[in-house]
Each structure stands twice: as structure tokens, then as C-alpha cells.
């Protein structure tokens, strides 16, 4: 009696780019920002600006309530959020550009203090899902001609952290901003060992 050959299962990541997602460059940030402004996508602009500033994980970003960043219509210059993953608080700055975008969105959407900052369009009682947020990010990067397989929600989390590290080389500061408990996590997250080695190699002529 012949035994049937077991079906060969393809790996879940076949044909997909896995690993860390690429942070945006300054020109990419401005390209997305301008497109959202021109299209008058008020919610998306507020979401994009806050994602860059806050450096929060997707699950923490989408579950923010108005009271986490604002008092009434007035958005604060700093905020503190309890991270879902680590159960530790993390503080972040909210730049003037982001404050303006958020204030416009809060007023336009008529959001109250206890409302989710980015409510789902399917139900005002719930916030954007991580899947919806990922889809929005994909649309952003695709709109400026970037390969969506190389970018994701973690792109927004990594972007400002990577820029800060590049300018300051201050790992401890970036660790605090990302809310990492161990500095080794920050090193791995930024991929700085590989990047710095490549940068030094590029600057070395032989």
C-alpha cells in the first residue's frame, strides 16, 4: 500500500521581506506630509505627524484618547503614555506642527475628552485597528513611490528615533524615547551596528 506523500507547506514568509522595516528619510516625511496637506486629509495628517513624534508602537498609538494628548481643544507639548507591551510609561514631545494638525482634527471630528483620538469609521465606540493603521501606512508610502514591502507601522516608530541617533549618537536618549527597558534592545532595533559599520566603510577610501 503506497503512503501518500505529505503536502509540502510553504513558509509563511515566502516571497515576503521580513525583519526590521526601513525608517523614512526626511524627504519622504515631507513628501507624505505635503500630499496629505494638499489632499486635505486632516485625520491622516494628524495620525502621520503624531506617529512620527510619539515613536509609539501601533497598538499604543491607535488606542490614544483625546485626554492623553490634549486638554479640550488645546494639545499639550508633551504627553506620557503607559505602554501596553512593557507596562511602563514613556514620554514624548508633540511639536508645533503636530499640535496644529491634531487641534484641527479634534475640532473637525468634534472629539470629546474621553473619545478615541482616531476612532474607527466603522464604529465611533472603537478606535482604528492595527490592520487599518497598517493599510493607511501602506497607502502613504505607496503614494510617494516607495516599495510598501519595505515599510510598515514600525517605520513610523523608528523614523524619528533613527534621525535623533544619527544626529546625536546618544543611545541612552533614544532608549528612553522608545521606552526600551534594555539598551541592547535599542541597539538591535535601530540596527546601528550594521549601519555604522557601513557608514565608516563608505567614508574610508582605499
Relative to beta strand 78-82, strand 89-93 is: antiparallel
* Cβ neighbours for 150, distance < 8 A, ≥ 6 positions apart: 17, 21, 22
Other C-beta atoms lying within 10 Å of the C-beta of residue 48: 23
User: What pLDDT is recorded for position 170?
Assistant: 84
Task: Render pLDDT for 120-146 as a digit per residue (tens, 0 to 9).
Answer: 987 656 999 999 999 999 999 999 999
User: What pLDDT is recorded for position 194?
Assistant: 58
Show the low-confidence residues of the chain (pLDDT under 50). Answer: 11-18
The C-alpha cell at 191 is 540596527
Give the chain's domains with CATH numbers.
Answer: 26-202 (1.10.443.10)
**181, 86 in Cβ contact below 8 A?**
yes
User: What pLDDT is recorded for position 10?
Assistant: 52
**129, 120 in Cβ contact below 8 A?**
yes
Strands (E), the chain: 70-71, 74-75, 78-82, 89-93
User: What pLDDT is recorded for position 200?
Assistant: 53
User: What pLDDT is recorded for position 168?
Assistant: 84
User: What pLDDT is recorded for position 26?
Assistant: 93
Amino acid at each position: 500500500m503506497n503512503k501518500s506523500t505529505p503536502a509540502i507547506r510553504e513558509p509563511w514568509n515566502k516571497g515576503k521581506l521580513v525583519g526590521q522595516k526601513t525608517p523614512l528619510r526626511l524627504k519622504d516625511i515631507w513628501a507624505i506630509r505635503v500630499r496629505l496637506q494638499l489632499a486635505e486629509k486632516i485625520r491622516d495628517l494628524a495620525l502621520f505627524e503624531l506617529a512620527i513624534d510619539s515613536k509609539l508602537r501601533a497598538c499604543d498609538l491607535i488606542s490614544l484618547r483625546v485626554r492623553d494628548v490634549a486638554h479640550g481643544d488645546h494639545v499639550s507639548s508633551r504627553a506620557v503614555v503607559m505602554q501596553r507591551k512593557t507596562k511602563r510609561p514613556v514620554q514624548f514631545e508633540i511639536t508645533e506642527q503636530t499640535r496644529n494638525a491634531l487641534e484641527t482634527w479634534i475640532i473637525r471630528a468634534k472629539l470629546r475628552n474621553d473619545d478615541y483620538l482616531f476612532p474607527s469609521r466603522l464604529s465611533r465606540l472603537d478606535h482604528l485597528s492595527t490592520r487599518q493603521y497598517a493599510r493607511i501606512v501602506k497607502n502613504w508610502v505607496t503614494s510617494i513611490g516607495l516599495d510598501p514591502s519595505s515599510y510598515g507601522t514600525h517605520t513610523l516608530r523608528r523614523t524619528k528615533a533613527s534621525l535623533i541617533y544619527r544626529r546625536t549618537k546618544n543611545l541612552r536618549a533614544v532608549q528612553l524615547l522608545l521606552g526600551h527597558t534594555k539598551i541592547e534592545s535599542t541597539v538591535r532595533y535601530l540596527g546601528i551596528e550594521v549601519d555604522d559599520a557601513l557608514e565608516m566603510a563608505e567614508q574610508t577610501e582605499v
